[in-house]
Amino acid sequence: MISNLNSGGLRSKGILKEDLVEKNKPLISVITVVYNNRQFIERCISSVLNQTYDNVEYIVLDGLSTDGTVEIIQKYDNKLDFWLSEKDEGIYDAINKGIKLANGFTLMLHSDDFLNDNDTLSNVAKKIKNKNHIYFGSVKNYNELVEWFYPKVNLELDQSWLVNNPIPHQSVFIFHKLHKNYLFDQKKLSMGNDRLILTQLSRKYEVIFINELITCVQLGGDSNNWKNLRKVFDYNHQHLAVDNMLGINNSLRKIMYLYITTIIKFFIFKCFGRKTFYKFFYKKYLKV
């Protein structure tokens, strides 16, 4: 039994859940990592606890927040399976802790995000049949100005789609024993670990697309941050580094295009503001 002033949940009371995929009752292990996100953490937690599917374990890992996030997590001590508040080495370190604690099919749900509706995991569970398959659905990316779905719901996906498009990490379900062999452990990657690992998995295991909207993803993370040119350049650098690790060759022309368009986007964001930026570059995704 786990006993710690900075941890809690049902496991600390000796209550453990088990995977029953052979009986069409797979355990879904939702992992949320958070640091100083008092504004949205409760919305995220509620979207999991309100699920109609009853074989869910919820693991919440806090990076020693100081803004009241921990107090919100503690409110749900009798409903969360496990929560912990301690210093970590970044988002991937925290996610890896969650994967190691999981007993079912993992789902990474960031604290800004939330499950689409109360039946989301019930719909997913009906499609999970094999521990050696990777399952994923669609996500809705949104903010107050734009909204788009990736992949589009009701889209017919084949192997060629997987070759040319990354699996959205916010909607992928991986059996914990499999995932523990593919942790996000590339220390030099602060943003591209998920694309690296999920692409590696998709090349080795069968990937099943679940034609359901899984997660609503609020834009604004590091990979969507246009306020800092250094961060955007770092994102580009890591994107190219992941390509290299995956054996994807990029021409000099393509690399130059990437950085030139990045500079243009950055200065439009900086000089004309957020609304103009989205109206110019994301016109087809603008909310009506």
Which domains does the chain possess? 7-221 (3.90.550.10), 225-285 (no CATH)
Digit-by-digit pLDDT tens for the chain (288 residues) are 344 569 999 999 999 999 988 888 999 999 999 999 999 999 999 999 999 999 999 999 999 999 999 999 999 999 999 999 999 999 999 999 999 999 999 999 999 999 999 999 999 999 999 999 999 999 999 999 999 999 987 888 888 898 889 999 999 999 999 999 999 999 888 888 999 999 999 999 999 999 999 999 998 754 456 878 888 899 999 999 999 999 999 999 999 999 999 999 999 999 999 899 999 999 999 997
154 backbone dihedrals φ, ψ, rounded to 5°: 70, 15
**26, 103 contact by CB (below 8 A):** no
Distance of alpha carbon 61 from alpha carbon 32, whole angstroms: 6
HSE, side-chain direction, 13 A CA sphere, residue 220: 15
Q: Which amino acid is at 50?
A: N
